[in-house]
Structure 1
Amino acid sequence: MIFRILFFVFGYLPFMIVFVPGQFIITRLGLSWNFIPRWFHWFGCKFLGMNVTVIGTPSTNRATLLVSNHISWTDIIAVGSKADVTFVAKSEVKKWFFVSFMATLQRTLYVDRKKRSDAHRASREMGKRMASGGAVLLFAEGQSDIGTHVLPFRSALIGAAQHAMQDAGAGEVMIQPLTIAYTRLQGLPVGRTDRSFIAWIKSKSIKQNLTEILTGGTRDVTLAFGTPQVLSAGSDRKLVARQMETEVRRMLVALNRGTALPTATTPAE
């Protein structure tokens, strides 16, 4: 804990003081420069005690919709340290002090899932980001889980992005599965009991969860990028959602067990 405090005071904080104002200006000007967000998340990983390993390659330099499982708010920091993506977050995040400010600097998209009209607005914005050749990450379960299994992917979320990309003029969009797995805690395999100190369980406040993370040990996080496939206007969104869900689940099971990742299944037409 003492090391983390020193790292924050002499490393993380000076970085934010120097570079965050610059990122604020870049965002206001509508420009895109990913250097600062990537380093911000890298510092965040070190501060929170996360060792991130990447398997596979994120789709870059083309319109991409990444669909992933979701375990904790620290998923964003882990992914952000390794890939240039736009995150889609629930509207409640905008109420979190400092977190909302930093998320906005990375051009995070907020959506109020209780309002259909707002979901349509967010989908249109997602389409615009992808149409410009960017990558958007969607936590397709629609909520977080403890990390032992994958909840059903919401095909409506993928369908909304599919329609939005058409409206925005995105010709060919890739959809890529991403699995996030917390595999070790203090060098030991993560058990089911340990996951309550990693995942953000609804019964815990953000303050309680953050305290447990900062006072806990180092965690190994694996990001496994699957094989991207074309998401066209005529693709069956329910079938695509099942394919992505299956790939993410297969990779999560393998990573949790410490076995080799399975070979990807052939996408259905």
Structure 2
Amino acid sequence: MSVTPHPWLPKASCDAACMHAGAAPKGSRPAVWARSAVRITGAVLLLLAVPVLAVPLPGRSHLQRGYCRLMLRCVGVRITVSGGPIRNLRGVLVVSGHVSWLDVFTIGAVLPGSFVARADLIDWPALGVIARLMKVIPIERENLRRLPAVVGAVAARLRNGQTVVAFPEGTTWCGLGHGPFRPAMFQAAVDAGRPVQPLRLTYHHRDGRLSTVPAYVGEDTLVDSIRRLVTARRTVAHVQVQSLQLPGDDRRDLTARCEAAVRGAGGRDVAHAGQAPALVA
């Protein structure tokens, strides 16, 4: 039975013009072919090692972090991290803006955990296997009736001390623009009484300009998105760690504080903008 899209379904306004605005020269054709061949070969070989992520080894989070960093390097992405310290806490909800399928590896290289992701990700070739091993919590954005169950699943994992990553925009944007945060996922942090870690995630060209190369929006296909990434000269993923936020008892206040932090207005002022201060210990 088909589901009629509800009027609150998040939808980005990004189009081909956004992709052109955030593009950059790729270089000569032989150089593009050479770098593409090396990157694709490395990524395929690394995908063959995916089952290792399912082995319950000590320090598994370090293994996942290392795997994600290697995958980023294989597809031509370098990662930089700035901002506040990453606190070694259990049961944290991690939130950021959403640009691409690549976000999973970028955030996984910094704060590995399980992700709330579109339900059809499980069926994607290669990435679907990784999604299942990372215990993705599937969400059907078109079906509001199942949203409370997803929020409940996130809250349960937070109570059990697991890190959960969610994208409150509800859909991907090109990287030049962004959408408003929706409060649903923040209810899980309120219900579980667990803190939220906002991350500001951006992608750049080598010269520092914002890049739309990793974007996955609109009518874009996964193949097209991957092709842009592996043929580009280099992409830099920058993760800025903002102040950890206590949940309080008002999900809309928590949403506003985290959105302000993710949009670059983080720090002490944002941490104290709502009823609950930033966690400092």
Aligned counterpart in structure 1 of residue 74 of structure 2, from 41, 47, 63: 47
Output the TM-score relative to the length of structure 2: 0.76
Distance in 2, matches of 1:95 and 1:77, equals 18
Aligned counterpart in structure 2 of residue 239 of structure 1, from 215, 230, 253: 253
Partner of 2:175: 147
Q: Secondary structure at the residue paired with 2:261?
A: helix
CA displacement 1:130-174 (0-9 Å, x = unmatched): 1122221111111111222331110123124533x2xxxxxx411
Consecutive unaligned residues in structure 2, runs of 5 or more: 1-32, 276-281
1:88-99 correspondence runs (5 A): 88-99=116-127
Aligned counterpart in structure 2 of residue 128 of structure 1, from 156, 160, 165: 156
Structure 1 pair 15–215 and aligned structure 2 pair: CA distance change class (3 A): closer
1:23 aligns with 2:28: no
Q: Secondary structure at the residue paired with 1:21?
A: helix
4+ runs deviating over 6 angstroms? none
Structure 1 pair 12–152 and aligned structure 2 pair: CA distance change class (3 A): closer
Greater fraction helix: 1
1:189 aligns with 2:208: yes
Distance in 2, matches of 1:115 and 1:44, equals 32
1:229 aligns with 2:229: no
Aligned counterpart in structure 2 of residue 2 of structure 1, from 9, 34, 42: 34
Question: How far 1:262 sits from its partner (Å)?
Answer: 6.4
Q: Secondary structure at the residue paired with 1:173?
A: coil
Question: How far 1:88 sits from its partner (Å)?
Answer: 0.8
Computed over aligned residues only, the root mean square deviation of the Cα atoms, in angstroms, reads 2.5
CA displacement 1:96-153 (0-9 Å, x = unmatched): 1111111111111111122234322222221122112222111111111122233111
**What amino acid sits opposite 2:102 in the alignment?**
T
Matched residues, number: 241
Question: How far 1:62 sits from its partner (Å)?
Answer: 2.3
1:31-180 correspondence runs (5 A): 33-55=60-82, 56-163=84-191, 165=192, 172-180=193-201
Greater fraction strand: 1
Distance in 2, matches of 1:151 and 1:21, equals 35
Q: Secondary structure at the residue paired with 2:60?
A: coil
